[in-house]
Structure 1
Amino acid sequence: MRTPPRSPSATEVLDAVRRHWLPGAETAVHLPVGFGAHHWRIEAAGGPALFATLDEPSPTRSAASFEAAYEAARALQDTGLAGVLAPRESVDGRVLTEVGIGLLSVTSWHSGRTPTEREARGGAHVARTLELLRALHGAPPPGALQRWAPRVGGDLARRVEAVTDGPWTSGPLGEEARGLLRAGLARIGQAERRYRELRAREEARSAHRVPTHGEPHWANQMLTDAGTLILVDWETLAAAPRERDLAALPEAVQRAEGADPGMLELFALEWTLSEVEEYLRWFRAPHTGTADDRIALRGLREELQR
């Protein structure tokens, strides 16, 4: 996120890191990177830096699901599986601790960069990504691995229709967001009906589930200074059809991998509908028009145009 959260403060994050991971931590600096979670760089005198992340539970993603995903990611990393950057265990053996409005985790710091979207669609990079995903999909499922569960609440179109019936005074972008959602009602309803059909089909073939990252797109990848490709943000790790990850790859690769078109459509629809639901909550809540708010409004518009 581009702007620091209302809670916790950098001081509270630093105190939590000292108590649970690194007693010698000296500074916590908020990083204006990513979207959806907050991040800090943690510095300690004479020691390696840490990367702290604050995840906020929601009605469709509980605290327990974050913890299970991170524990499973740590188990995969401990087996030596390539491309996994999992949270560190705290002094009390956990991967998360409650701080302010969210759940704090830390990983080791890696110097590197996020590939550009265009770069990530290049043949050589796609081949590297596919290699990591094949290894993940073939890995023995860790004991903590949770089953994929739909991230879209029931009757989304009905709820959108009900709450957009009158003005939104929650903030400067509320009315524009409400107008976009109101205009997109028919499209939301159509997507939701198709999503339900495909969910029922997936349930009938649930034996095909494997460990999946969930969102292995370019923004959740990192090219380290050493030239290694790693996947970050493992909070969506779950047992699901491999198409959940293949949906992030070009169509030619999906065909070559024998991906089921219906399952690819299921997870494309889940992404769009879950984003719409998240932005619905976002703009009904108080907001002030920050850079994050404007990014969210642009995201809502893009999802409704898909």
Structure 2
Amino acid sequence: MLARMLVAPDDLSAETVLETVRAHWDDAAHACAHVPKGAGAHHWAVSGKHRPRWFVTADDLDTPTREDELRATYDSARTLVEDGLPSALATVPTAGGETGVLVGARLLTVTPYLEGESGPGEFADDDQRALVARAVGALHAAEAPPTLLDWVPGPPQRDDLLDLLGRLDEPWESGPYGDLVREALRAEAPLLRDLLARFDTLAAAAVARRGTWVPTHGEPHTANVRWTAAGPLLLDWESLRRAPRERDLRVVLWGADGAEPLSAYCAVTGLDPDAIDGDLVELFELEWWLWETASYAVRFHAEHEGDADDARFARSFLDEVVPAVRAV
């Protein structure tokens, strides 16, 4: 999901973010500004007197277990870095050693601010894929921290999607884009049910091979990469899970023009290329697009005002998600 969080949240001001950073991370922090980036969280840049120091993320705690999951996940990423993983940018603990700080119904975490821009999501060429494939290979070769959570077959928000597929005959009067999304979902409803059934078959096979699972990033596309002189740094670790390696390889290797990215990955991991399972690549392709569909459906069935974020997400759903579901 590459639509941007363009609008700062009404219930979390830059002043509150700055006060929180001063109290828990850096008492010399001087200024704070919302950064219109990301797809599932809000972000701010916090500066000292002369330049940015910190990148702050506010994750919504939208389920009862979300806070515990995020803390375990960010702790695991930090452990991987402390154990020598060179290609990751992990969160910085508070002065009291905590992963993050609760502010209302959000968890605030902090990473060092890096100059530069991440990519658009897509890979420019196989050279870029190969660099990220090496970084992903180093992650897959690392020992899983004891705090690392296992991937759980879903896909996420499955129950929400099934519920909303049963609510397609009545108008969605929740906001300006509700009915537009409902009509698109109604056209694809039989296909979506078939894809969920296929997902279940493939997920059962993946769980049966749990002993082969490795630490996976979950979303190692270029929007979650910052390019440095030392190589790519993987950002945004909220999806870190122990899972089949194909969870990441569907992003990094599939779509490559040649064999260089695969060779780069296998050189780091020592994996036989024939050990990569095409069915599991399909599993995670299905998971991604079913999850995307569910998250958009939930967003636009709920009340929304039609602001810049809503407009961008609605266009992303129609132009990106629906065609991708048809192509899976």
Instruction: State the TM bucket, normalised to the shorter chain.
Output: over 0.9
**CA apart distance, 1:100:** 3.0
Question: Which residue identity is paired with 2:104?
Answer: G
Aligned partner of 1:69 in structure 2 is: 73
**CA apart distance, 1:107:** 0.3
Alignment of 1:102-121 (within 5 A): 102-117=106-121, 120-121=123-124
CA distance in 2: counterparts of 1:187 and 1:294, whole angstroms: 25
Aligned partner of 2:251 in structure 1 is: 248
CA distance in 1: counterparts of 2:162 and 2:147, whole angstroms: 35
Q: Secondary structure at the match of 1:104?
A: strand
Is residue 284 of structure 2 the alignment partner of residue 272 of structure 1?
A: no
Alignment of 1:1-306 (within 5 A): 1-45=5-49, 49-59=53-63, 62-117=66-121, 120-150=123-153, 151-155=155-159, 158-224=162-228, 226=229, 228-251=231-254, 252=256, 257-258=273-274, 259-301=276-318, 302-306=320-324
**More displaced stretch, 259-268 vs 151-160:** 151-160
**CA apart distance, 1:47:** 7.3
**More displaced stretch, 203-212 vs 19-28:** 19-28
**CA apart distance, 1:6:** 2.0
CA distance in 2: counterparts of 1:304 and 1:105, whole angstroms: 33
CA distance in 2: counterparts of 1:201 and 1:60, whole angstroms: 29
CA distance in 2: counterparts of 1:61 and 1:245, whole angstroms: 24
Deviations 1:138-182 (A, max 9, x none): 001112111111343445654122222311121111111111112
Question: Which residue identity is paired with 1:277?
Answer: A
Alignment size in residue pairs:
304
Q: Residue 93 of structure 2 contacts residue 99 of structure 2 at CA under 8 Å; is this kept in 1?
A: yes
What's the C-alpha RMSD, in Å, of the aligned pairs?
2.0
Q: Cα gap change, 1:189/1:155 in structure 2, threshold over 3 Å: closer, same or farther?
A: farther
Deviations 1:223-278 (A, max 9, x none): 13x46311110000010010000010243558763320111011111101111111
**CA apart distance, 1:85:** 0.5
CA distance in 1: counterparts of 2:37 and 2:246, whole angstroms: 28
Question: Which residue identity is paired with 1:92?
Answer: G
Q: Residue 118 of structure 2 contacts residue 225 of structure 2 at CA under 8 Å; is this kept in 1?
A: yes
**CA apart distance, 1:46:** 5.9
TM-score normalised over the length of structure 2: 0.87
Q: Residue 45 of structure 2 contacts residue 52 of structure 2 at CA under 8 Å; is this kept in 1?
A: no
Q: Secondary structure at the match of 1:235?
A: coil
CA distance in 1: counterparts of 2:160 and 2:305, whole angstroms: 25
Q: Secondary structure at the match of 1:49?
A: strand
- Unaligned runs of 5+ residues in structure 1 are none
Q: Residue 60 of structure 1 contacts residue 153 of structure 1 at CA under 8 Å; is this kept in 2?
A: no
Identity %: 36
Q: Cα gap change, 1:89/1:255 in structure 2, threshold over 3 Å: closer, same or farther?
A: closer
- Unaligned runs of 5+ residues in structure 2 are 264-272
TM-score normalised over the length of structure 1: 0.93
Q: Cα gap change, 1:291/1:227 in structure 2, threshold over 3 Å: closer, same or farther?
A: farther
CA distance in 2: counterparts of 1:82 and 1:165, whole angstroms: 52
CA distance in 2: counterparts of 1:54 and 1:104, whole angstroms: 5
CA distance in 1: counterparts of 2:138 and 2:242, whole angstroms: 14
Deviations 1:63-90 (A, max 9, x none): 2111111000001111221110111001
Q: Secondary structure at the match of 1:38?
A: strand
Question: Which residue identity is paired with 2:40?
Answer: G
Q: Cα gap change, 1:188/1:47 in structure 2, threshold over 3 Å: closer, same or farther?
A: same
CA distance in 2: counterparts of 1:142 and 1:67, whole angstroms: 13
Q: Secondary structure at the match of 1:128?
A: helix
**CA apart distance, 1:61:** 7.1
CA distance in 2: counterparts of 1:83 and 1:68, whole angstroms: 20
**More displaced stretch, 166-175 vs 188-197:** 166-175
Q: Cα gap change, 1:182/1:60 in structure 2, threshold over 3 Å: closer, same or farther?
A: farther
CA distance in 2: counterparts of 1:157 and 1:43, whole angstroms: 41
**CA apart distance, 1:13:** 1.0
